[in-house]
A and B are shown apart, each in its own frame.
Chain A
């Protein structure tokens, strides 16, 4: 089988992509509680008592895909929603069945939008097969049969059959070549705020997460990696640690050591007693300052590739009545998932490797496990656990699987659960890239934006993480929102300086979202310079049919833009499209006399085309606000002596409940396309808040986090 880890990683960043449907190879599903359930097709399993189990290929990290995809299948299947549940598709079976479930990658807000077509077709195909099976049993034409909530009726003879009664026969039928999907206007299950399937277990404290795996005779491992990225183990004295209670083994690898013990705490205590000497390699002197200098050197490079070129910015800027220039920057950021990286692996005596992990990409985990163990894919299974947060950390990089498997391979026959300490997790991430951007724009005498030239210096996630040289030197995740901006500025140029450094970078919720901060803050600067209202200024640069217009107008209305606010409260606005959706936001912010910013209210309008579960979409907007707010107020990862400075939540602060603004989400789906919800609402947030801070204080924020800025009124 020509499947390798890089292939999965590449697939995980490919946008959209059609999938050839294979409705063939029906096999009997595992029997649960006596009577065998029937797999009607890969997505739909029906029990004799009409319970429907929908197989889900994407991971669940709280974004709701585990339920939303089942809603789409059930909608087309036309079954009783009260009898529907979900289960994860097995990555091993997935490979054996030639990737029948499509992509398992769960990132880019693609869980629903990139699966919707084939999962709806799977539901519809199963319905057709069930009806055909009933018609065949009755020896009538399928055209005379109708379905409602899992009951097939033959009107003329007044006979009925339940799905559970004909599923076995349906599975033996030829799948239909074409199916007609329901018009979303007629949805009964999709489009509704169904309760998420995963919530009750999580609320009851059931062991659903990667760290909760328990296996017979299982041991625990804590890990120390070379603190300098790229460094290696020089020497290790494990004498004292090996004698500690419960310790079973000390594992030495090229770039990490691990202690295996009979409880995690004992492993971690022993880990702290190891005398480790690391060889920092060539990166031991890197610092935040040296990285910023590297990025600024990139901005000065006269030969940068262009990510966008429209008209002639130099010529237009020469004629401008006013030229505005600004430099913006952002720091590295860890994902800081609440559940640290974890992987449980068990090399079984028969040479089969089982892995349990919190992964955003089950097949990438499987490929990493196979590659690390040297076993063929067929001899590996990955059990996808619920993720204690993902945000991009657990998709592209599978470092935790590689480590977990290496540790378990050192103790064949014994399952070992590896979990990182918080410090290890904070200091060994795949960080949101630090970046520096210079923007230069020209306004004509009437205050119209006639030219904008942007230079972006930013590490390339595609190059560093996926080792793929981006086409023509451009990494789309580093330039987007600027290279594809919807504003009809007649002269535009975007240059990209790829400067990678040694810090691993990765996909952090809405990769490239720094650019929305830069663009929408700078546009605000230009509106102020032009003496124009920020909404009017933007609308004047958006084409009539542009959906960015619609969300801007929707958010202005919902936030009552222009109406008076309580004393001291000020508004800021931003708009950005990305991850398939269009999002506009108004932030209401005040700043205390002591210079403390306080975000009171966020109003966000989102057009995602279709909405499968409105409540989940609102929850994602709320989540984006608090996830983004932490990065705006406090968070940064600094480098000193080649390593990450921050170690825990005291120096990488998360906002608390007292800091949560009121969030009002206005869903304005206009149909005709499928956009995401996991990331879009984070795009306009930093600029909306910082534009409000400018309105409140007159201080323009061009770098984050805000803790470094003195916001007291001058």
Chain B
């Protein structure tokens, strides 16, 4: 049994302590926004927040998250639309979209640390891999959020 705080809720999960957080979230807690891409922390599709820091959940054992705050894309805005998600919609960032939840979680952690990141900051923090080529728009959307509130029109498109 592993006790985890995920998106503000406590869960008792009957898993091995060494099961990577990624699989606890996906297969045991049904949080499917977090993605498997490589299994060895190379691609960042599995990025979540643990105590506010961007973490690659495919290599973090469940036991390492005990007593910490785990946040997934589903909990990023507590049922609403995070300003990064609104900007992602406004700038039409995703193509296939598979890597994008991890990309957004990395961007959110970056903005917490550096509210006005430079291009160099983005280059350093955003090491998530995207095969479709959304990088230009990822950068634009991060700068747009850093510059000010994203338009509410995009948030409406999500339908709450």
A204/B36 contact (C-beta < 8 A), A199-B89, A199-B94 known: no
B16 interface hit (Cβ, 8 Å): yes
B112 interface hit (Cβ, 8 Å): no
A660/B135 contact (C-beta < 8 A), A649-B38, A649-B42 known: yes
A662 interface hit (Cβ, 8 Å): yes
B19-A388 in contact (CB<8A): no
CB contact list, A654-670 vs B, under 8 A: 654, 656-658, 660, 662-663
Of all chain B residues, which has the CB nearest A338? B98
| Count of chain B residues near A, Cβ 8 A | 60
B54 interface hit (Cβ, 8 Å): no
Q: Please list 21 pairs of residues, one from A and one from B, whose beta carbons are closer than 8 Å in the complex, sorted by A's number.
A: A193-B92, A199-B88, A200-B89, A203-B85, A206-B33, A207-B33, A264-B27, A390-B96, A419-B36, A619-B92, A619-B95, A622-B136, A625-B133, A626-B130, A626-B133, A626-B135, A649-B38, A650-B42, A656-B126, A657-B122, A660-B136
Residues of B within 8 A of A63 (CB): 95
Least distance between B159 CB and chain A CB atoms (Å): 8
Least distance between A217 CB and chain B CB atoms (Å): 13
Mark contacts of B21-36 with chain A using CB atoms, 8 A cut-off: 1 yes-contact digit, 0 otherwise: 0110011101011111
Contacts A203-B93, A338-B35, A389-B98 supplied; 20 other A-B pairs, CB < 8 Å? A193-B92, A199-B89, A202-B97, A203-B94, A205-B33, A205-B74, A206-B33, A211-B36, A263-B28, A264-B23, A265-B22, A338-B45, A338-B131, A389-B96, A422-B39, A619-B92, A619-B133, A648-B38, A657-B128, A657-B138
Residues of A within 8 A of B134 (CB): 619, 622-623
B96-A386 in contact (CB<8A): yes
Residues of B within 8 A of A200 (CB): 89, 157-159
Residues of B within 8 A of A193 (CB): 92
Residues of B within 8 A of A265 (CB): 19-20, 22-23, 27
B132 interface hit (Cβ, 8 Å): yes
CB contact list, A217-266 vs B, under 8 A: 220, 245, 262-266
B118 interface hit (Cβ, 8 Å): no
Least distance between B47 CB and chain A CB atoms (Å): 11
Mark contacts of B72-89 with chain A using CB atoms, 8 A cut-off: 1 yes-contact digit, 0 otherwise: 111000000100010011
The CA-CA distance from A123 to B136 in the complex, in Å, is 35
Mark contacts of A47-72 with chain B using CB atoms, 8 A cut-off: 1 yes-contact digit, 0 otherwise: 00000000000000111000000000
Least distance between A59 CB and chain B CB atoms (Å): 11
A198-B97 in contact (CB<8A): yes
A203-B88 in contact (CB<8A): yes
The CA-CA distance from A649 to B56 in the complex, in Å, is 15
A212 interface hit (Cβ, 8 Å): yes
The CA-CA distance from A198 to B157 in the complex, in Å, is 11
B138-A263 in contact (CB<8A): no
B40 interface hit (Cβ, 8 Å): yes
A196 interface hit (Cβ, 8 Å): yes
Residues of B within 8 A of A263 (CB): 15, 19, 23, 27-28
B73-A204 in contact (CB<8A): yes
Least distance between B32 CB and chain A CB atoms (Å): 4
B137 interface hit (Cβ, 8 Å): yes
A649-B43 in contact (CB<8A): yes
B104 interface hit (Cβ, 8 Å): yes
Residues of B within 8 A of A658 (CB): 123-124
Residues of A within 8 A of B32 (CB): 205, 207, 211-212, 214
B95-A615 in contact (CB<8A): no
B133-A340 in contact (CB<8A): no
The CA-CA distance from A183 to B36 in the complex, in Å, is 46
B136-A389 in contact (CB<8A): no
The 6 closest A-B pairs by CB, nearest first: A205-B33, A62-B95, A202-B97, A388-B98, A626-B133, A62-B96
Residues of A within 8 A of B23 (CB): 263-265
Residues of A within 8 A of B43 (CB): 338, 649, 654
A654/B129 contact (C-beta < 8 A), A205-B32, A340-B36 known: yes
A22 interface hit (Cβ, 8 Å): no
CB contact list, B59-118 vs A, under 8 A: 72-74, 81, 85, 88-89, 92-101, 104
CB contact list, A391-414 vs B, under 8 A: 391
A508 interface hit (Cβ, 8 Å): no
B139 interface hit (Cβ, 8 Å): yes
Please tell me which one of the listed residues B15, B36, B89, B130 contacts residue A203 in the complex, with CB atoms under 8 A apart: B89
The CA-CA distance from A61 to B35 in the complex, in Å, is 16
Residues of A within 8 A of B139 (CB): 657, 660
The CA-CA distance from A126 to B56 in the complex, in Å, is 50
> Interface on B for A, CB 8 Å cutoff?
15-16, 19-20, 22-23, 26-28, 30, 32-40, 42-43, 45, 72-74, 81, 85, 88-89, 92-101, 104, 122-124, 126-139, 157-159
Residues of A within 8 A of B137 (CB): 619, 622
Residues of B within 8 A of A556 (CB): none
A421 interface hit (Cβ, 8 Å): yes
Residues of A within 8 A of B16 (CB): 245
Of all chain A residues, which has the CB nearest B103? A657
Please tell me which one of the listed residues B22, B88, B131, B157 contacts residue A337 in the complex, with CB atoms under 8 A apart: B131
Least distance between B154 CB and chain A CB atoms (Å): 8
CB contact list, A257-303 vs B, under 8 A: 262-266
Least distance between A360 CB and chain B CB atoms (Å): 12
The CA-CA distance from A338 to B19 in the complex, in Å, is 22
A209-B133 in contact (CB<8A): no
Residues of A within 8 A of B98 (CB): 209, 337-339, 388-389
Of all chain B residues, which has the CB nearest A656? B127
Least distance between B93 CB and chain A CB atoms (Å): 8
A338-B37 in contact (CB<8A): yes
Least distance between A399 CB and chain B CB atoms (Å): 19
The CA-CA distance from A211 to B30 in the complex, in Å, is 12
Residues of B within 8 A of A654 (CB): 43, 129-131
B96-A387 in contact (CB<8A): yes
The CA-CA distance from A593 to B104 in the complex, in Å, is 36
B39-A627 in contact (CB<8A): no
Least distance between A229 CB and chain B CB atoms (Å): 23
A195 interface hit (Cβ, 8 Å): yes
Please tell me which one of the listed residues A199, A205, A264 contacts residue B101 in the complex, with CB atoms under 8 A apart: A205
Least distance between B65 CB and chain A CB atoms (Å): 15
The CA-CA distance from A206 to B101 in the complex, in Å, is 10
CB contact list, A156-213 vs B, under 8 A: 193, 195-196, 198-200, 202-209, 211-212
A623-B37 in contact (CB<8A): no
Residues of A within 8 A of B33 (CB): 204-207
A199/B131 contact (C-beta < 8 A), A264-B23, A658-B123 known: no
Least distance between A185 CB and chain B CB atoms (Å): 25
